[in-house]
Structure 1
Amino acid sequence: MRVCHTVFMLSRVSDPTAMSLIDILPPAPLAMVSAGPTATDGPSVAPPPCKRCRTAPATSGYKTCLNCRAKRNAYHHRWYEKQRLKKATEKTLAGFAVPLGVSVLESAASGSAKRKAEEPLSDGSKRVKLTSPLQPQNVLSIPEAQQPPSPTIDDFMKFTWATGLYAELQRQFRARSTKKMFRFRATHSIIADPKVNKKRRARQVERDLQQQTELQFDIDGRVKHRDENAYTITHRCTCLPRCTGVIVIHVADDNSHPLGLPGQRVKLTVVHPKRAKVIPSTLPPT
């Protein structure tokens, strides 16, 4: 059987007119070869974690994620805004009489009182030194150079209650002129509450000013200054985008009570430029 099959195949090949099975059958389709990973292609690498939060993946081309960069930009924006407010405060309060060596905020809070020059005596006699009747004469007083500096309230209007201070501020602020710079300095004292420190007292004054006056400021945009015996908050007026008005709230310890009770003295300084337009009233008339 194998011999017959071989003879048949040889006869077909020897005949040139005979068609082979290769000519009859259609060409087989090319096999689809999938392009698999080559030796040069490595495994896919996940993006590295954020350098700041260590949780979210870092954005392509950065070392931090998008959320961390947004927080950083917001922080720098607030920092630059505070620096701009500080410069605007120094420029606006430049009109006050500031002693040498005293910062602008401290002078605004303390009142920066002016000392009048002593009048010369015409008769050439010596001036008699006046002594306080409440001070004992046999007690040695501390030299003036050794006494700690205390803020003066000579240039501040004194009020017994905070409500009276806010009412007077509201009256003067409504009646202010756009041709003159508005200045308001007032103070009042309150018996200290052990649960309310100077910071909380200043925050309370912030809320009272927003509720009882027409002053416009961002309560969260405060600039804080803390020292050993006082707490100061400065706000920028927001009645206009480029307004340079400032509001300074200064809270310090007070020992002026007749019975010696510890207290807190609140000093409020409001300065508004003359070129700003008057904002329509939003509170009912008093």
Structure 2
Amino acid sequence: MDITPISNPFVSDAPLATCNLCHRSPVTSRGYSSCQNCRDKRNASKRRATARKREQKMRVFQLATRVNVPPSHSVEPTKPLKRKTPDGENEGDALERIRKRFKKMEPFKKHESIFQIPSAIPTTESQYQKFISASDLHKAIKQSYPDNANPLRFHGTYAIITELDPDHKLKAREVARNLRHNTSLQFNLDDREAYRSDDGAYTIHYKCTCHQSVKRTSSDLTSYFMSKNKAALATPKTECLGRIEVRAEKDMSHRLGWPGQRIKVTITHPKKL
């Protein structure tokens, strides 16, 4: 009995196509468009290009950080080593050993990283308008506040002669009381945020309590005059965003070298409605 072989319709007997790159050798199989030799050359070229890009990134990183970082392939992973406590060490010796270790780390703490996020820029000395006395500063504040058309940004300072070790906290509170009584600024003396700087200066922040009024509408006016309880329908108040800052610090700018105090007053107030 003769068996006739059945041909596979999915397998073609046609010869393989030539390589699209070299146009000489046939392709490896029908699923590829290039020969094995051309594919090996192309893969090797891609690996060299990837290595060059990695090396360029490493050079840029070394120039930015000024640190010679070895290539990643030369670093062998190691297990973290645990520091053992010496035998017979008492608590005093342990504290002395820790103190020496942190003392060696101090030179590294002095160098800040170049990638450190910049902090807020403080107000420079040139931005402060200098006055001879506190009364002159009060007059300038009266002339510039309140300004219903423009926002207010006031920076004023003056200096006084004091003893060698003045109390900046008491002086800052005294200046705040004088501002409250001698100017039209509105703030609560008891509602304050104060802190002392590393150089000994004392700063107090106050919130403006002028309470900007919300504009009335026709419906609000109708409800106001038709209602018997007008106090309940009074115009609501919104919190003012104005801020008053008083700072007292040491000052040695006197030409004869006499000790003094530098008083700085900063006022930021939005435009009134």
Normalised to the residue count of structure 1, the TM-score between the two structures is: 0.43
**Higher helix proportion:** 2
Larger-Rg structure? 1
Normalised to the residue count of structure 2, the TM-score between the two structures is: 0.45
